[in-house]
Structure 1
Amino acid sequence: ARAGDPGGGTYEDYARALTRGDPVRRLGMDTWFFWTAGNQAFWGRAFPVATRGEVDALRLLDARTVRRADRFAVLGTINDPGCRAPSGPDEFGFLLDLCTEPQDPQQKLLYGEPTGVIGMRKFPNPRFDRDRWFQAGGAVRYLSQTRENFDPTLEPPYLIGLSCAVCHVAFDPLRPPADTAEPAWANLAPTIGNQYLRESVLFTLRSSPREFRWHAGQAQPLGTSDTSRITNDFINNPTTINAVFGLPARLAIRTYEVVSSDQAAFIRGMVEPIPRDLLNTSPPQMLTAHGLMDGADSVGLALAALRVYCNIGGIDYPRFLASLPTADNDYTQQPFDIAAAKANPNGLWVATEPRMPALQAFLASIEPPRLARAPGGGRFLSDPPALVHRGKIVFARHCAHCHSSKHPDPNIQNPDERRRAYERLVLAPDFLDDNFLSDDRRYPLPQIRTNAARALATNALEGEIWQSFSSETYKGLPPAGRLQRLFNPLAPSRPISFELPAGGRGYYRTSSLIGMWATAPYLHNNALGFTTLDPSVEGRMQAFDGGVRKLLWPRQRLGRASVQRTISSSILTDPLGEPILVPLPDGRRIPFEVPAGTPINLLANLHPRDLPAVIAAYARGGPQAALAEALRRNLSPDFVEDHGHEFGTELPDRDKWALIAFLKRL
């Protein structure tokens, strides 16, 4: 059940209300908000050094980069209610938020200190040399470094780590803030998913419109995360940051998937209750729910959460780095070795894994937001009862098969009887109670027909970095079929046909519709609708209306205009911003010019091993020849972002409006 009004002025007040004083839930909540699993070593030092200061969370937090008052608009991050804007430099010269809420010293050791941004934690750098710092020029020198004069030996005083909260905590639809720059704790929803986050800014803040990567960053939709940006599969596939609601209902519909004997071995050694979900069959089977859009995380939610910590540089970042594709290993991933990470009794896997049951208990305690409970929500629920009733009938006939975790008796096979059974189910007053509003099953992409990029991700395949976190069932999925008549941005009269590969790719699982009124835009890539920076009920309903109209009336979609394109001419660079040069027959080397209006995913979905052929095409015939070669070698030649999921679009308008009247009540 949802806790009472968090009220109060401190995190302690907020946590006490949300967890109702339950110590297990409190451990889970603190883990969600504060636990970095040691990734401060990665984000605080390894990543800034590897990118020569291009990606540096500490730089992002300094008020000279973005002021506290501007963070929400510029970064989409949520300001920590326990902090305020700095009045001057700290002892090391940084302009960081002042955070004054009392913190237990033991908690500070485990979780670091607040930074002013929810989900970003500050830890002392054990390699910091105070004398060297000030001799080198302190914070002014550190912040003014460029790629060209970056000093990897200048250790900052702080390391910044990231917790789950940086992506998943945002404003509570039932208690929106009066000021988005200064929310109270009571204004925050732990699992709504940050629809406002501008993730790409962290990675492109220091790039310019002259660089192609800047354009790719600008095109990333708000509220999405490209979770394979670092564990690179060379497909540009930012995905909506999921809301986490209805976890008990999701767990109630888990299904068994086959796992390998090695996976079964480490699952048996995990903290309860995980091993109870493992069947000692031959081959072994694991009872699992899914979180990722493609259903790749298929060996249980605990391991899915642990993989996320690994994926953002926590737990064992040297092993994580060794698994990444680089030029040194011909851009080939290496499987992350769970057994080796677990083998260190003092390691962060051993410290993180026992927190997973508490984390699950906390997440399971969060109730979804209902529009009826929102301030002024009743104004949007004045539909005639007959219209809502009709909407339920439409939902039963056209949506509930996939978007419900409650289903009629499977023995009812007669189509008319089954239709009536679905109608009785949806019309029941308890239909929404404990209903995940999804069957949590995978469906082949040619059936769904939404953009293919996320379904083509490779990281969980056999031999790839996260192979140990996906089931044998996933890796053994049959080919999903062929995509037909995809838009060809270079020759619109010649549509693209693309055969989907086997081995796990080519599927999407059903997304939950819980809290749909509050979670626009829609589809896995946030392509339907828009994100307002207004978290009020009115702002959310405006976004809901814009998204649901496009969902049910496809002619209102952007279609070909949703193809992400460069805004101006630019040059192709490597990840550090160094220009990629094209050798010409006369011996000259010129920058790889990308014309204005180029579809971003022509180049963003290109494997580095294919880049020499594209460069050679440029040398022969210029940019257009290079783009044609890039299209031939494209890993996901699906460029329209907002197509697909046209279920129900053939309904008469009166039924669509009735359906909308019901959808906003979910």
Structure 2
Amino acid sequence: MYCPIDDRPASRPFRPARLLSRSLPVVLFLAMAITAKAQSSLSEGYAREIAPLSATERVGSEVWFNATAFNDRFFTYGFQQRVGGLIDWYGILAAEKKKDIFQAWGGIPDPDCCVPGEPNCPAKSLSETYGFQWCPGDDVLLKYIGKYGYPDPACDLTDVPAQGADQRQSACDLHFGTSTGILGLRKFPNPRFDRSAWLKLNGDKPESWEGYRGALNVFPTDAQNRTSRLFDGSIEPPYRIGMACGACHIGYKPDKPPADPNHPAWENIDGLVGNQYSRVSNILGSGFGKHALEWQLIARARPGIVDTSALPMDYVSNPGTMNAIINFKQRPLHEHEILKWRRAAACPAGTQAEKCWCEPGKLGKCWERSTKKELQPNILKGGEDSIGIKEAIQRVYFNIGSCSEQCWLNHIPDLRAADPKQRNYGQTPFDIGQCRRDCASFRAIEDRLDDIEAFFFTARPTDLWKARGLASPEALEAELDQQFFPGAVKRGRDIYARQCASCHSSGKPPFDNTDFRATVPGDPTLRADWLGNDELEPASEIGTYAGRSLHSNHMRTRVWEQYAALDIHERPRDPARPEVMAGAGRGYYRNISLLSAWAHAPFMHNNAIGPEICGKPADKQVDFYDSPYVDAEGKPIASPPACLSYDTSVAGRYQLYVASMRDMLNPGKRIDKMHLLDDDIIIDIAPKLQNPELNKLLGLEISVRIPKGYPALAINSLRFKDLIQDTVLRRTDAQKLDEKYAGLLNAKQLADLKDGLQRLILDAILKDRPTVLELAADRDRFVQRFYSNNLGRVENSGHRFGETLSDQDKDALIAFVATL
């Protein structure tokens, strides 16, 4: 059972005037605290890099890089107790593992952090930092481990001067903490830390986490048993770890990569470009053994993608890239019917808070909920976030755990709630108005969304000709013509205009005379063409792996319902998809931008088209690469292509781009990719109940066995709760079963469903023993046909556009797209 921890508030600004009338010891303490607060939310190196930004862009940058909005509480308590997840933070962030931060996790090392004991490092031993790196601000933070009152650096944020009275929520509620050594992951002193208990558990070594990471009980034959002490709430670690949005979006500048990705400088780092090497999914599942079900569901993802449905689980294998934020000022807008909260001068007397609300003590700071037509961008892979860019930015913070206790934990499913009458059996809609009222961090982020948006608008494309140090685009064209064939770029431009621009341009046809590289008058850095129209197309037409398009969290009755425009809810589901999909709105992808495509391979929403990339860390225990290549029967091939080592250099990115383009334009030559399970997994679908009479009534005890080698994506898309419910209804109330599927199944499909369920029941009754359903041998693939949210298995399928071009025309297209 999840119980919120009653922490003392750490969000109040530090106000010396409140203490001056108190005792002398308090005043002396205050003087020391002020001296200690020489910490800043900015490091010198980072400050130099953002110096050209305006005041509002600077604030947006700081918030994007550092603000966790108190999600350290979620990752310390809610993730384990409510969601059932486990993160081994020490296994990721230990100072001794710094050499593998990038290779293992794809993390971007913080240039300002150091390993205790190294020359010039302020910390001389690992015991001072509890085994972590030392980072700026830790001279203050370390003093507050096991204590309340930490003066968070966010309180020192220099906001843009307000116009009139400052109505913004305190910057303290942004909650910055200090770096962990990986940019975007922030640490905070845990006030509930008990040093004596920690030392007793870890052998009198403050820097050791081995006892804390060990086992509560040892059942070596049971791979599914949750034995990790990480689940033990009686022992709390010295740090709470939070996540900023930058954890997924901070990456290396394609045009100024570090000589050594393990030792970057701030000049090599970009906060918006997206991290195509990140293994966030592996981080979220790092506390589980690799053979646990949770590992297979959470952590099986290639670099650069993350399942955005992993927390508010919708039972869809949902891999998606960390979007590169580029040229947003020119992003296409689309008319949407939008129900949302908008700024208002006041609320009419007697208006309910659900329709209009004014923040207490903030004159004129009011919000009213209404429906209007607006021009807004289609955001996310299927256009789901569609009520505004600011709202989309705000929602990112919820997706990484902010305001979890106040706003959304009770709206997401409990994986163990199998009875539809149970609380948290399924999703319920998050309420934006309620969250604004109840979560100070919501307001702190919201009050600075203009700043974050302004920072977003600073992002520009990365030109290959500049990255190569050439004098002009024409010089790059000459190099590419030499590499491919004379006139390749010009010919590629004509092919692009005829065959690609209808999707990958924000201009209007005909495209014969379109300059795809034109810039906006008055700003030579801003491209006029977004190089994508962001129109929504059925996933079946594009043909790529459909999992991301079947995401349902933004549909009606689901957790993020209020973040989708009404017309997104009302669009028909993709009629060509074979899955039994409840509800409208699902099954679409938007036509993406091809700006700077040379720097962002592999391709597609799941990075599956192109060579596989891997980090090859020195510590093989954190080497997460496993070959996804399979034959026509879905079996691992004997000699798969080797993965390519992470290469952040300009030449390395370009070579990966060329290889990925060849893979995309030659679908007939692709080797199928399909991640497979490492070991057998057994899931109890209808376990034996403690009530003998109920067991006799239902007459079933069913488990599902998923054998080693089975497609992992099939497991993550299994609606096992519906399977449980329908099996019971088939036995106890067939009419309710009919009602449930009215409008979803035709008569023949409903009959097939009932027959399949009856086979399960009869097997259980006739054998008088537990029934173990083998998914691999499932007759007629009954369970998969009716209970899988995604029947696709091949991860690198589809996007066959261009395959009929000649080899020379394909080379020409590759050459031209590299110039965009």
The equivalent residue for 1:192 is 273
Q: Pairwise mapping of residues 501-516 of structure 1 onto structure 2 (< 5 A)?
A: 503-516=584-597
Aligned to 2:71: 39
Q: Is the 8 A contact 1:371 1:665 kept in 2?
A: yes
Q: Secondary structure at the match of 2:487?
A: helix
Bigger drift between 330-339 and 24-33 goes to 330-339
Aligned residue in 1 for 2:130: 94
Say yes or no: does 1:321 pair with 2:431: no
Q: Which amino acid aligns with 2:658?
A: D
Q: How does 1:277-288 map to 2 (within 5 A)?
A: 283-288=371-376
Partner of 2:328: 247
Matched-pair contact (CA < 8 Å) for 2:579–2:789: no
Aligned to 1:631: 784
- The answer (yes or no) to whether the contact 1:48–1:56 under 8 Å persists in 2 is no
Pick from 382, 395, 398: which aligns with 2:479? 382
Q: Is the 8 A contact 1:606 1:635 kept in 2?
A: yes
Match of 1:348 among 435, 441, 465: 441
Segment of structure 1 superposing worse, 87-96 or 159-168: 87-96
Give matches, 1:20-419, under 5 Å.
20-50=52-82, 54-57=86-89, 60-63=92-95, 67-87=97-117, 90=126, 94-100=130-136, 107=153, 109=155, 110-134=175-199, 136-137=201-202, 139-146=209-216, 147-148=226-227, 149=229, 150-216=231-297, 219-250=300-331, 253-260=332-339, 283-326=371-414, 327=417, 328-329=422-423, 331-344=425-438, 347-375=440-468, 382-384=479-481, 386-408=487-509, 418=510
Q: 1:388 to 1:281 in 2, by over 3 A?
A: farther
**Residue 143 of structure 1: SS of its match in structure 2?**
coil
Encode CA deviations 1:311-335: one digit per residue, 9 max, x unaligned.
1110343422111111143631111
CA contact (8 A) 1:121 1:160 kept: yes
CA 1:435–1:261: 2 relative to 1, 3 Å: closer
Deviation string 1:405-449 (CA, Å, 9 cap, x unpaired) is 2225xxxxxxxxx3xxx1111377559823211111111222212
Structure 1 residues 404, 131: CA separation in 2 closer, same or farther (over 3 Å shift)? same
Identity across the alignment (%): 32
Aligned CA distance change for structure 1 residues 381 and 38 (closer, same or farther; 3 Å): farther
Contact 1:246 1:435 in 2 (8 A): no
Gaps of 5+ in 2: 1-41, 118-123, 141-150, 156-174, 217-225, 345-353, 360-367, 521-525, 614-644, 690-694, 728-756, 764-769
Residue 56 of structure 1 deviates from its aligned partner by 4.1
The separation in 2 between residues aligned to 1:269 and 1:390, in whole angstroms, is 59
Q: CA deviation at 1:212?
A: 4.3
- Unpaired stretches in structure 1, ≥5 consecutive residues: 1-9, 272-279, 409-417, 484-496, 574-578
- Aligned to 2:514, what secondary structure does the other structure show? helix
Q: Secondary structure at the match of 2:186?
A: strand
Partner letter of residue 663 of structure 1?
A: V
Instruction: Count residues in correspondence.
Output: 611
Post-superposition shift, 1:172?
1.1
Secondary structure of 1:123's aligned partner: strand
What is the TM-score when the length of structure 2 is the normalising length?
A: 0.68
Distance (whole Å) between structure 2 residues aligned to residue 662 and residue 17 of structure 1: 32
Residue by residue over 1:10-64, the C-alpha shift from the partner in whole angstroms, topping out at 9 and shown as x without a partner, is: 9434444335142111101001110112111101332244577822435532246
Pairwise CA distance, 1:352: 0.8
Q: Residue 524 of structure 1 corresponds to which residue in structure 2? A: 605
Structure 2 match to 1:491: none
Distance (Å, rounded) in 1 between the aligned partners of 2:54 and 2:370: 40
- Counterpart code for 1:359: I
Which residue type is aligned with residue 564 of structure 1?
H
Structure 1 residue 140, shift from structure 2 partner: 4.4
Task: Determine the C-alpha separation between the residues in 1 that align with 2:380 and 2:670.
Answer: 25
Partners of 1:145 and 1:53 in 2: CA distance: 16
Counterpart of 2:233, as a letter, is P
Report the residue type matching 1:196 in the other structure. Y
Provide the secondary structure at the position in 2 that maps to 1:122: strand
Tell me which residue corresponds to 1:604.
716
Distance in 2 (CA, whole Å) between partners of 1:199 and 1:427 is 34
Q: CA deviation at 1:654?
A: 2.2
2-structure distance, mates of 1:427, 1:130: 61
SS in structure 2 at match of 1:84: coil
Q: C-alpha displacement at 1:229, in angstroms?
A: 0.4
- CA deviations over 1:603-654 (Å, ceiling 9, x no partner): 2211231454598778165454458343121111111111222222222222
**How far did 1:128 drift?**
3.0
**How far 1:597 sits from its partner (Å)?**
1.8
What's the CA shift string for 1:576-614, capped at 9, x where partnerless? xxx889769999999854322212222221123145459
Q: 1:502 to 1:19 in 2, by over 3 A?
A: farther
Amino acid at match of 1:355: R
Instruction: Work out whether residues 114 and 121 of structure 1, in 8 Å CA contact, stay in contact via their aligned partners in 2.
Output: yes
The separation in 2 between residues aligned to 1:428 and 1:124, in whole angstroms, is 49
Deviations 1:331-386 (A, max 9, x none): 31111111111113x71111110111111111111211111111467789613362
Q: Is the 8 A contact 2:356 2:369 kept in 1?
A: no
Distance 2:322 2:265 in 1: 22
What's the secondary structure of 2:531's corresponding residue? coil
Which gives a bigger RCO, structure 1 or 2 (Cα 8 Å, sep 6+)?
1
Q: Write out per-residue CA displacement over residues 198-238 of structure 1, whole angstroms, 9 at most, x where no aligned residue.
A: 22322333434443444455641110010100110011111
The equivalent residue for 1:660 is 814
- Larger Rg: 1 or 2? 2
SS in 1 for 2:513: helix
Distance 1:61 1:533 in 2: 20
Aligned equivalents of 2:456, 2:393: Cα separation in 1: 12
Query: 125-134 or 329-338: which moved more?
Result: 125-134
Aligned to 1:544: 657
Contact 1:393/1:426, CA 8 A, preserved across alignment: no
Counterpart CA distance in 2 for 1:508 and 1:581 is 36
- Quick check: 1:571 aligned with 2:681? yes
Amino acid in the other structure paired with 1:123: F
Give the 5 Å matches for 1:481-520: 481-483=575-577, 497-498=578-579, 503-520=584-601
3-state DSSP of counterpart to 2:527: coil
Aligned CA RMSD, in angstroms, stands at 3.4
**Which amino acid is 2:153 matched to?**
Q
Q: State the partner residue of 2:23.
A: none
- Distance change in 2, residues 1:324/1:195 (3 Å): same
Change (3 A) 1:358 1:556: same
